Amino acid sequence: MSDADRYRANWQDEIDSAALYRAMADVEPSEQLSDVYRRLAATEEKHAGFWEERMRGAGAEVPPRRVGWRTRVLAAVARRFGTQIVLPTLDSLEQADSGGYLTQPESSGTAMPDEERSHARVLRTLAGGSGVEGSALARFEGRHRAASGNQLRAAVLGANDGLLSNFSLVMGVAGAQVSAQNVLITGLAGLLAGAGSMAMGEWISVQSARELSGRQLEIEAREIEEIPDEEQEELALIYEGKGMDPAAARDLAQRQIEDRSTALDTLAREELGIDPEELGGSAYVAAVTSFVLFAIGAIIPVAPYFFLSGTGAVVVSALVSAIGLFAIGAAITIFTGRSVWFSGGRQVAVGVAAAALTYAVGRLIGAAVG
């Protein structure tokens, strides 16, 4: 990669980051956090100007500013579902990029590497990673910081599971040279069985987590009533661990422990990592969501058998499944930052290889049984 191409790639990254931060600032209900996002956007704009100067210095044309498709998708998701759902993805990308400017001679001696590392730390805090440091505690204290922004990733992977498993199943049965009606019945049975299994597993997982969280809250509430001094000390230590002055930490802990409900809420979030209002979310919503997402992916290889039969049905089923696998691979790049063609192609290669294997095994079994 030439220097001009590297400058252009850095410049595009900064343009995308600034646009996403501005979009998050527009939809963030907390004015303080919205201001944080605006300041992050301003810093990225400054960095973009730095790389524009380098492009001009290298005799390269500065192209019109256009926001990339991945950034537009993340901004749309943030506008629709809130900033929290995209924070883990943005955090992962910033963590991966935070050291990049140290290795580039144009930026290594500037403030840019430190600024990018600072951005990564801020996003890690907002995404629910390490604790809030120093004076930042007052800004973020009491805010619902959930690491639940991975639902979008889980949704993509749930649809992928349905598509990949039922694609292999349909190809395996088709390879046995059975009728289209039998393939259709088998595919629908696989859809229902897989989606039902996913739903029940998700329900049990979330419900068990809710019951465990509820039990922990009961124990914590009893400890606040029976040994408030020890719980107050725990709160003070938590705040000191986040960087607060010891005297200020003890004062804040004392004020909070005087209100039992506030103390329980704070200890639940800070010590146990539990949101008392949600307890990990609804088990029924999780089950229904898993069922629907798996079914959406699983219906793709089955659908052609509603209208076609024979070799035509096999070919069309394989084609639409490959398109679906590529689309899912492309969607995953929203979170990974990899090339659409690489991720999509890899997804297709893995899915087609699995389906080809089951098709071949189906042919062998069909021939043996026949």
Q: What are the residue ranges of helices labelled H in 227-269?
A: 228-241, 246-257, 260-267
Model pLDDT, residue 138: 33
* Contact yes or no for 186/173 (Cβ under 8 A): yes
pTM score, whole prediction: 0.61
Model pLDDT, residue 354: 92
Model pLDDT, residue 245: 78
Model pLDDT, residue 88: 73
Q: What is the per-residue burial (b if ≥16 Cβ within 10 Å, else e) of 118-140?
A: ebbbbbbbbbbeeebeeebbeeb
Half-sphere exposure of 35 (CA within 13 A, CB side): 5
- For the chain (370 residues), the mean pLDDT of every run of 10, in chain order, is 86 90 88 83 89 89 88 87 78 66 80 75 62 34 38 75 93 90 93 92 85 78 76 73 76 77 71 66 84 94 92 93 91 76 90 92 82
* Contact yes or no for 172/359 (Cβ under 8 A): yes
What Rg, from alpha-carbon coordinates, does the chain have?
26
Residues with Cβ within 8 Å of 322's Cβ and at least 6 positions away in sequence, in order, are 348, 351, 352
